[in-house]
């Protein structure tokens, strides 16, 4: 494995690139010319292409033995046309990738009423975005079987980091559900997800799915309460679902319509990865420390 192709050069990808660039030649696909300088600065060779433009993807064919696919599906429909175009481009040359790691979503499991979910739980997507992810996974699995490419899938929940915190939501005063109607939510720190993707290149089994989650076990309201307490914001108001629907966006409400608890034991056992932030409490604490240091405060003893 000498060359790695990154598809979808967003936040998580940019956290993975510096580690990868020390070991491999990394090509990073982006559709934004203004991002090319930043990608070069962290060690990648930027490729200007658009997953919605089949012709522009010709340049990725045969370029790398390994692909990290971080790109999301389109915003509408029930199929992932972007992944379809990418796979067609990758298959257009005789030199095919030998390994592909894809970041999907735990949303493919749908609503489970707060029950525990493992990788053997059947997919039951309840939203359009989850259906598009299921379609992408199926296309990637078929590509792996057809082209003898080891495809591994990481299903990630809500991604957070120091610059991806729910502080604006807390400051707006958006309410959450009353405890008796609340849903279970799952999380992963962006740094840990980036490390999982890198480790999966070496340790993940072809055709295998991994739940890329931390060990947090909280209802959504308790998650926001914890964030409010640790960051010095007021706790959100608790309201019944019928009232909540009139006070938050349809997108936000959709995330409060599904409840599941994701088992991430397979990552710890098979990828042998120790998380830097095993729960959101550690992630929040690190963000607070980072904020203090950036403001010039002494870390203390």
pLDDT at position 286? 96
In whole angstroms, give the CA distance from residue 286 to residue 80.
Answer: 36
d(CA 265, CA 271): 10
Nearest to 152 by CA among 202, 86, 85: 202
Cα–Cα distance, 18 to 97 (Å, whole number): 21
- For the chain, give the mean pLDDT: 94
No. of H helices and E strands in the chain?
11, 15
CA atoms within 13 A on the CB side of 103: 29
pLDDT number for residue 279 = 97
**Contact 107/130 with Cβ under 8 angstroms?**
yes
Tokens of 146: 């057809």
At residue 1, the pLDDT reads: 61
Q: Tell me the pLDDT tens digit for each residue of 99-121.
A: 999 999 999 999 999 999 999 99
Residue position matching structure tokens 């995330």: 255
Query: How does pLDDT run across 14-34, given as a tens digit for each residue?
Result: 999 999 999 999 999 999 999
What does 42-89 look like in DSSP terms, one character per residue?
TT-EEEE--TT-GGGGGGGTTS-SEEEE-----SSSSS-HHHHHHHHH
C-beta atoms surrounding 268 within 10 Å: 14
Q: Which residues of 198-227 are buried (b: 16+ CB within 10 A; e: fewer)?
A: bbbbeebeeebbbbbbbebebbbbbbbbbb
| The predicted structure's pLDDT at residue 138 | 98
Percent of the chain at pLDDT > 90 equals 91
H-helix segments, 72-189 = 81-90, 128-147, 167-172
Instruction: List the structure tokens of 137.
Output: 């996974």
pLDDT digits 0-9 by tens, 133-175: 999 999 999 999 999 999 999 999 999 999 999 999 999 999 9
Distance CA 247, CA 241 (A): 10
Instruction: Classify 148 in phi/psi space as left (phi over 0), alpha (psi -120 to 50) or beta.
Output: left
Residue 89: pLDDT band (50, 70, 90) is very high
Percent of the chain with pLDDT over 70: 98
* Contact yes or no for 21/198 (Cβ under 8 A): no
Confidence band for 301, pLDDT divided at 50, 70 and 90: very low
| Domain ranges, ordered by start, for the chain | 3-161+186-216+262-283
Q: Which fold has domain 3-161+186-216+262-283?
A: Rossmann fold (3.40.50)
Question: Quick check: 293 pLDDT over 90?
Answer: no
Mean pLDDT value across residues 179-206? 97
What confidence score (pLDDT) does residue 250 get? 87
Cα gap 280→267, rounded to integer Å: 17
pLDDT score recorded for residue 269: 95
């Amino acid at each position: 494995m000498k060359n790695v192709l990154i598809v979808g050069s967003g936040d998580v990808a940019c956290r993975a690139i510096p580690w990868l660039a020390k070991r491999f030649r990394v090509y990073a696909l982006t559709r934004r010319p203004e991002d090319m300088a930043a990608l070069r600065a962290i060690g990648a060779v930027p490729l200007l292409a658009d997953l919605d433009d089949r012709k522009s993807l010709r340049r990725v064919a045969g370029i790398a033995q390994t692909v990290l696919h971080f790109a999301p599906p389109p915003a509408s429909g029930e199929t992932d046309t972007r992944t379809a175009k990418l796979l067609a481009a990758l298959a257009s040359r005789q030199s095919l990738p030998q390994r592909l790691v894809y970041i999907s979503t735990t949303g493919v499991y749908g609503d489970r009423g707060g029950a525990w979910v493992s990788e053997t739980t059947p997919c039951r997507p309840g939203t359009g975005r989850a259906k598009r992810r299921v379609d992408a996974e199926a296309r990637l699995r078929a590509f792996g079987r057809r082209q003898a490419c080891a495809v591994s899938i990481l299903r990630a929940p809500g991604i957070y980091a120091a610059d991806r915190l729910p502080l604006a939501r807390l400051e707006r005063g958006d309410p959450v559900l009353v405890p008796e109607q609340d849903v279970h939510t799952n999380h992963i720190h962006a740094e840990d997800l980036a490390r999982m993707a890198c480790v999966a290149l070496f340790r993940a089994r072809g055709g295998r799915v991994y739940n890329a989650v931390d060990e947090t076990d909280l209802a959504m309201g308790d998650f926001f309460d914890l964030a409010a307490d640790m960051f010095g914001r007021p706790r959100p108001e608790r309201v019944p679902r019928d009232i909540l629907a009139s006070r938050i966006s349809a997108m936000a409400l959709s995330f409060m319509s599904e409840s599941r608890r994701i088992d991430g034991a397979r990552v710890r056992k098979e990828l042998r990865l120790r998380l830097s932030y095993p729960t959101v409490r550690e992630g929040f604490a690190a963000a607070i420390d980072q904020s203090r240091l950036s403001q010039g405060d002494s870390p203390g003893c």
